[in-house]
Amino acid sequence: MQNRAQWQSRLGFILAATGSAVGLGNVWKFPYITGMNGGGLFVLIYLLCIAGVGLPILAAEVLLGRTTAQSPVGAFRNLSGKGSPWVLVGLLGVITAGTILSYYGVVAGWCLDYILLSVDGRLLGTAPEEIPSLFPELYGDATRNVVWLTIFVAATIWVILGGVRRGVEKASRILMPLLFVMLAVLLVNSFTLPGLGEAVDFLFAPRPENLTPAGVLEALGHSFFSLSVAMGAMLTYGSYLSKSESIPATSLAVGGLDTVISVVACLVLFPIIFSFGMEASSGPGLVFMSIPTALVQLPLGALWSVLFFALLFLAAWSSAISLLEVLVAYGIDEWKLSRRKSTLLFGSVIYLLGIPSALSGSEGFFGKGLQELTGRNWFDWFDYVASNWFLPLGGLGISIFVAWKLEDQLRRTAFTEGTPEAWQARLYAGWLMLLRYLAPVAIVAIFLHVIGVI
Ligand code: PHE
């Protein structure tokens, strides 16, 4: 255990963890669910979910990892004893990471396809009103999806093979600043568009009539996904964190950056949408159908489109890196594999699991077949199960374990280490309250909603 790798610095951890948190969830999903839920109040509720539930769980996860210097399964075993059922929460995390990663790579692949479409002139060569139909065409094209998935999984494996410092941390130190700059350039562009005023109004003026209870629960569920919590990614990254760093401070930095980026992504996208008189509530197609249609009509259109999809790709890649690291760290810690073997093994498993998702838009069994049989294709099933069942279950397990099972002295020391004295008592008490009461109640509400009771 003394040999466990560590981040080179606090910044290294913050950039890697932010890389995990900032992903498709921020730039693709958050804007479209905001659009579907009427903006304004939904954004506010989301911020409350992050502050009241997401962040406390994030800190709890980093604490579990750092205290034990183990990946999820080992962390629970270490603190609760061999053979304890709590170990299952760790195992669920590993399974969730694999489930999410397998379909996440397919969406990342679409970004690569759109970069190519922008570069080779196909996007510019298509009449704007035809551009939305490029997306179903891509989704239905098995070959293109599989090729992109292959490239994406290979790129993720390549980083993880390099290890914690030379792989994950180094990649994050390059990818994250690049992502911030790209986002800033896109933001400046959006600020020059005529739809800016309407977008700001949509995002920040409360319109209570548009919000439903389902929207509130969607905000809560999405806060877990967006912060990468409840499945062991933050736990695993926390296991490489030095004991001298403050858990509340680093968690706040990561959660804060993730949330700011979600809001900025909306400030990039909605002015574009409104400037071209498009619908904010168009759903999942917002980013792959509406946005390219609008972008190509701007001066230097292809360039904006490349920039946007490259940004989305980088965000997805750094998130996928953290998901694969959960599996690989599990193989190293539990099965005593070398990093190389573990990476190749789990990388291959994910690739094989991802293929049915890559085929989900096509006519065959994994797409239309399953859809007709069960109402969802393979891709939709994986997303549904991971987001609606695995993540809330993992979040519930982690919050109850840390808030109710962990010995108080150990928990207090771990939480407050490295934090200025004057802050320690109040921060600790506030965090524990949220984790004890608000988090479990909120998560149970998600379940009741998923099974149709509320
Ligand atoms: N947080 C990532 C996003 O917003 C997704 C993710 C979930 C990554 C869980 C790692 C772990 O897209």
Do the Cβ atoms of 435 and 57 come closer than 8 Å? yes
Amino acid at site 48: L
pLDDT tens for the 454 residues of the chain, in order: 457 999 999 999 999 999 999 999 999 999 999 999 999 999 999 999 999 999 999 999 999 999 999 999 999 999 998 899 999 999 999 999 999 999 999 999 999 999 999 999 999 999 999 999 999 999 999 999 999 999 999 999 999 999 999 999 999 999 999 999 999 999 999 999 999 999 999 999 988 888 888 899 999 999 999 999 999 999 999 999 999 999 999 999 999 999 999 999 999 999 999 999 999 988 888 999 999 999 999 999 999 999 999 999 999 999 999 999 999 999 999 999 999 999 999 999 999 999 999 999 999 999 999 999 999 999 999 999 999 899 999 999 999 999 999 999 999 999 999 999 999 999 999 999 999 999 999 999 998 988 888 8
Q: What is the pLDDT of residue 330?
A: 98
pTM: 0.96
Ligand 1 near 20 CB (within 6 A): yes
Right CATH number for 10-450 from 1.20.1250.20, 2.40.50.100, 3.40.50.300, 1.20.1740.10? 1.20.1740.10
pLDDT for the residue 1 = 47
Residue 292 Cα to ligand 1 middle (Å): 24
State which ligand 1 atom lies nearest to the alpha carbon of 225.
7
pLDDT of residue 267: 97
Return the residue whose CA atom lies nearest to atom 9 of ligand 1.
228
User: What is the domain partition of the chain in residue ranges?
Assistant: 10-450
What interhelical angle do 408-416 and 421-433 show, nearest 10? 130
Instruction: Specify the amino acid at residue 360.
Output: S
**225 CB within 6 A, ligand 1:** yes
> Is any ligand 1 atom within 6 A of the Cβ of residue 434?
no
Name residues whose C-beta falls within 8 Å of residue 94's C-beta, 6 or more positions apart in sequence. 71, 72, 73, 232, 326, 327, 330
pLDDT of residue 2: 52
Q: Is the CB of 107 under 6 A from ligand 1?
A: no
